[in-house]
Amino acid sequence: MPLYILVPMILVGLPLVIVLVYWTTRDRKSEPLYAETAKERFLRDFPNFRIKEVMISDHGNSALVFSGQGGETGLVYEIGKNHLTRLLDEHTIIKVEETKAGIDLYVNDFTLKKISLPFSDVETRRRALNQLLLG
């Protein structure tokens, strides 16, 4: 293809595609998480995980999933319109911090280094911390 055709195609076409994709997907947010939807979403990726308890964050965009079997913890986290899931264990969790707003998890994952989970209720926050730290 001649250069005088290729250059305008790239200079016009690429930004046009980027703008169209952004414009058509910008307002899409995922549905708020409830205990059942968090369980269903997590079990889709980890079908052998036995769920004992689910704790939904205050904003409804993330959840901690506990098995009650020696430190097995799961995470369901909103990314755009979708929810991602992670299996957390003693090798994955680097540090857990309690903040005024909730819990900050630092994980050994280059795609998601820090996860902030808002839990305004102090009792729920402490229960989640105990589960994360003690299993």
At residue 64, the pLDDT reads 93
Q: Which pLDDT band holds residue 29 (cuts at 50, 70, 90)?
A: low
pTM of the model: 0.73
Retrieve residue 29's tokens: 């947010």
Q: What angle do CA 64, 66, 71 make, to 5 degrees?
A: 115
| Residue of higher predicted confidence among 21 and 63 | 63
- How far apart (Å, rounded) are the C-alpha atoms in residues 93 and 114? 10
Written in H, E and C, the secondary structure of 52-110 is: CEEEECCCCCEEEEECCCCCCEEEEEEECCEEEEEEECCCCEEEEEECCCEEEEEECCC
Q: Structure tokens of 134?
A: 């003690």
